[in-house]
């Protein structure tokens, strides 16, 4: 399918992008998706000042990724992002990752929501001058359903500290994948790299605040995996399902 709106960059994986195996971290993959979305918007003239002047901000509501082959340190990747016009108050934006041979090795499906920074309410009617920059439709998507675990095991408390917060002064959406990998038992992480995950971001965790973490085994459409959730003030801050 031909897309009129897309943005492409190349990157070479470095030490900070990989785990103890030397393979790309899931959080690094989501950081790439976030970076490409931002870079594309800036190229179209929608930079931080653009949104600030209009008292708006885009936040990630839901996100899923699939690794078909996990790249390693020093691999050079080609990343391309494709945005879809707003539907039901959400903009779907997908990222395709190809290796040096042109083989597709990963996909990310992100649903962005435009929010009024004064009222903290979702903006359901996107301004016309913004809608013209997106594709009418992007043909593929990943499931945004998060299977729940029937039983949960406490995994401690995580503070929204300096290392995982962004310029919005709350935990960055990509950093939740590091939080999840820290919360799961080591023997689960050592099974192999995370191949798939879907996450819903329910409530922001502001800089300095804490959330309680819980995990448990769950059954997904493609087989068993792990469910992880964080709760702030008794309500879910995020929910995630992943497979290794």
Q: How many angstroms separate the CA atoms of 15 and 10, rounded?
A: 17
Helix (H, G, I), strand (E, B) or coil at 153: strand
pLDDT in tens, 42-82: 999 998 899 988 898 888 999 999 999 999 999 999 999 99
Domains of the chain, CATH where assigned: 7-131 (3.10.129.10), 153-243 (3.10.129.10)
One-character DSSP codes across 72-112: BTT-EEEEEEEEB--BTTBEEEEEEEE-TTS-EEEEEEEEE
pLDDT in tens, 115-174: 988 898 898 887 777 777 888 899 899 999 999 999 999 999 999 999 999 988 999 999
**pLDDT(2) > 80:** no
Q: In the prediction, which pLDDT does 1 show?
A: 67
Q: In the prediction, which pLDDT does 4 show?
A: 84
**pLDDT(237) > 70:** yes
pTM above 0.85, yes or no: yes
- The contacts of residue 78 (CB under 8 Å, 6+ apart) are 8, 9, 10, 97, 98, 99, 102
Output the CA angle 35-38-39, nearest 5 degrees: 80
Q: In the prediction, which pLDDT does 188 show?
A: 96
Q: In the prediction, which pLDDT does 184 show?
A: 98
Q: In the prediction, which pLDDT does 86 show?
A: 85
- The contacts of residue 64 (CB under 8 Å, 6+ apart) are 108, 109, 142, 143, 144, 196, 197, 198, 199
pLDDT in tens, 85-118: 888 778 999 999 999 999 999 999 999 998 988 8
Q: How many angstroms separate the CA atoms of 217 and 152, rounded?
A: 8
């Amino acid at each position: 399918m031909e897309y009129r709106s897309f943005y492409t960059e190349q990157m070479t994986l470095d030490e900070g992008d990989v785990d103890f195996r030397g393979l790309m971290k899931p959080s690094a993959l989501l950081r790439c998706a976030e970076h490409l979305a931002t870079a594309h918007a800036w190229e179209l003239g929608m930079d931080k000042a653009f949104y600030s002047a209009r008292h708006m901000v885009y936040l990630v509501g839901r996100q899923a990724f699939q690794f078909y082959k996990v790249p390693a340190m020093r691999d050079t990747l080609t990343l391309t992002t494709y945005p879809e016009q707003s539907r039901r108050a959400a903009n779907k934006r997908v990222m395709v990752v190809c290796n040096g041979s042109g083989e597709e090795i990963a996909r990310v499906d992100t649903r962005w929501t435009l929010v009024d920074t004064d009222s903290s309410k979702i903006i359901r009617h996107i301004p016309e001058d913004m809608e013209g920059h997106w594709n009418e439709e992007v043909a593929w998507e990943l499931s945004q359903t998060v299977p729940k675990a029937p039983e949960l095991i406490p995994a401690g408390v995580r503070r929204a500290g300096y290392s995982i917060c962004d310029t919005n002064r709350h935990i960055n959406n990509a950093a939740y994948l590091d939080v999840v990998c820290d919360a799961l038992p080591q023997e689960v992480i050592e099974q192999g790299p995370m191949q798939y995950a879907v996450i819903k971001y329910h409530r922001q965790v502001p800089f300095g605040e804490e959330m309680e973490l819980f995990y448990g085994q769950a059954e997904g459409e493609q087989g068993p995996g792990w469910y992880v959730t964080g709760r702030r003030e008794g309500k879910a801050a995020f929910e995630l399902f992943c497979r290794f």
